Structures are given as structure tokens and as C-alpha cells.
């Protein structure tokens, strides 16, 4: 049990996926403009990342490894993730239109989110078993959500401040991310 908690804390805070590993920067910077969209994207990422880690782990353990197809993992994972997001989208559309309305537009965005492929590959590299992979996926996604929601909050304040012209737009957001990243380095003491 304690290993699982350690995996979640490690993935969410210590090795934060955005602020420490630089995965999913595009959506982190692009979507954090609005708080509501950030929170919705966060929930969608938690959902997809957990499911994708589970599926990727099963595929790796029961298909790729027994047949010695280890080198195929990049191709297999990216296709499975793309297909999975499509299936999730169709499933949500049929079963829960409310949830689909809230998360639907973010789902295609997640396919191009390198965090999903990154987690699947990291799990393989760390030789996690099925349960550990699921928790690592969940932890990483929680870390992503924390980071993007925090940045969205900061950007709401930035929008109301007078910023020197050259810093407007991307630079000030990246500076905010740099300061967040410094703060998150403090979690390194937990490990």
C-alpha cells in the first residue's frame, strides 16, 4: 500500500509531469487561459490517462513481452491511445451526454498530449506491474490537473495587471511556470 501512495505522491508532486518533466506543455500553456476549461481538461486527463495506463500496461505484459515485440511499444502505444480516446469519446456521447458536453472538446486534444504516451513509456521503463501502472497514471494526471488549475488561477491575476509590453503573452506565462516549478522543487524533499 505504501508503495502505491509513494507512486501517487511521486508522480503528482515530486516529478510533476508538466513542471518537472515538460510533458503536455502545449495544453498546459494553451488551455490555462480559463479556469473552467482548465478544470474540465484536468478531469478529462485524469480519466484518459488512468485508462490509457491500464490498457498500455496490459498490452505490454500480455502481448508485447511474451512475443518479444518490445521494440514495437512506441507504435503500439500511440495507436492504442488514439483509438482509446476515440472510443471513450463515442462511449461518453452515447451514455452520458452531460459529461460529453463538458469534456468532449478536450478529448481530441488529449490524443496529441505527449503526457499520455510519456506515462505509458515511463511505466514500462520503471517495470511497473498493472496496479502500479494504473496508480502512476492516476498520480501523473492529478499532478497535471494541479499544475494547470494553479496556472489558470495565476493567469487570472496576470490578466488584470499592467505587464511590460515585451513580456505580454507567452513570456509572462512561462515566467509564472518557472516560479511554480521552483516551488514544486520543494517537494523533492519528500522522496
Partner 1 sequence: MNKYVERIYNGVAKENPTFVLMLGMCPTLAVSTAAINGLGMGISTTAVLILSNVIISALRKVIPDEVRLPAYIVVVATLVTITELLMEAYVPSLYEALGIYIPLIVVNCIILGRAEAYANKNTVGLAAFDGLGMGIGFTLALTALGFIRELLGAGTGFGIRILPESFEPIGIFIKAPGAFLVLAIMIMVLNAIGVKNRSDKLVNGCDGCCANCAKGPVHGKEETK
142 is a contact residue toward partner 1 (CB under 8 A): no
80 is a contact residue toward partner 1 (CB under 8 A): no
Shortest distance in whole angstroms from residue 5 CB to partner 1:
24
Which residue in the set 182, 186, 190, 191 belongs to the binding site for partner 1 (CB under 8 A)?
182
Query: Which range of residues in 51-59, 92-100, 139-147, 162-170 is near partner 1 by CB under 8 A?
Result: 162-170
Give me the half-sphere count of Cα atoms (radius 13 Å) on the Cβ side of residue 116. 30
Q: Quick count: other Cβ atoms within 10 Å of Cβ 55?
A: 19
With 0-12 / 13-18 / 19 or more C-beta atoms within 10 angstroms meaning exposed / middle / buried, residue 74 is exposed
67 is a contact residue toward partner 1 (CB under 8 A): no
186 is a contact residue toward partner 1 (CB under 8 A): no
Shortest distance in whole angstroms from residue 32 CB to partner 1:
8
**Residue 19 grid cell:** 513542471
114 is a contact residue toward partner 1 (CB under 8 A): yes
What is the spatial distance between Cα 153 and Cα 105, in angstroms, rounded to a whole number? 21
Amino acid at each position: 500500500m505504501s508503495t502505491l501512495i509513494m507512486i501517487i505522491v511521486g508522480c503528482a508532486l515530486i516529478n510533476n509531469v508538466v513542471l518537472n518533466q515538460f510533458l503536455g506543455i502545449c495544453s498546459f500553456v494553451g488551455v490555462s487561459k480559463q479556469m473552467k476549461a482548465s478544470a474540465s481538461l484536468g478531469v478529462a486527463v485524469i480519466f484518459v490517462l488512468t485508462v490509457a495506463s491500464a490498457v498500455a500496461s496490459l498490452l505490454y505484459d500480455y502481448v508485447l513481452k511474451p512475443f518479444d515485440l518490445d521494440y514495437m511499444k512506441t507504435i503500439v502505444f500511440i495507436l492504442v491511445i488514439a483509438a482509446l480516446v476515440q472510443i471513450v469519446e463515442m462511449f461518453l456521447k452515447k451514455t452520458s451526454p452531460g459529461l460529453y458536453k463538458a469534456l468532449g472538446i478536450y478529448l481530441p486534444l488529449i490524443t496529441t498530449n505527449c503526457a499520455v504516451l510519456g506515462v505509458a513509456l515511463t511505466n514500462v521503463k520503471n517495470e511497473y506491474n498493472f496496479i502500479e501502472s494504473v496508480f502512476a497514471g492516476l498520480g501523473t494526471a492529478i499532478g497535471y490537473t494541479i499544475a494547470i488549475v494553479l496556472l489558470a488561477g495565476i493567469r487570472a491575476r496576470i490578466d488584470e495587471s499592467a505587464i511590460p509590453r515585451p513580456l505580454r503573452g507567452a513570456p509572462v506565462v512561462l515566467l509564472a511556470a518557472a516560479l511554480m516549478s521552483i516551488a514544486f522543487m520543494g517537494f523533492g524533499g519528500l522522496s
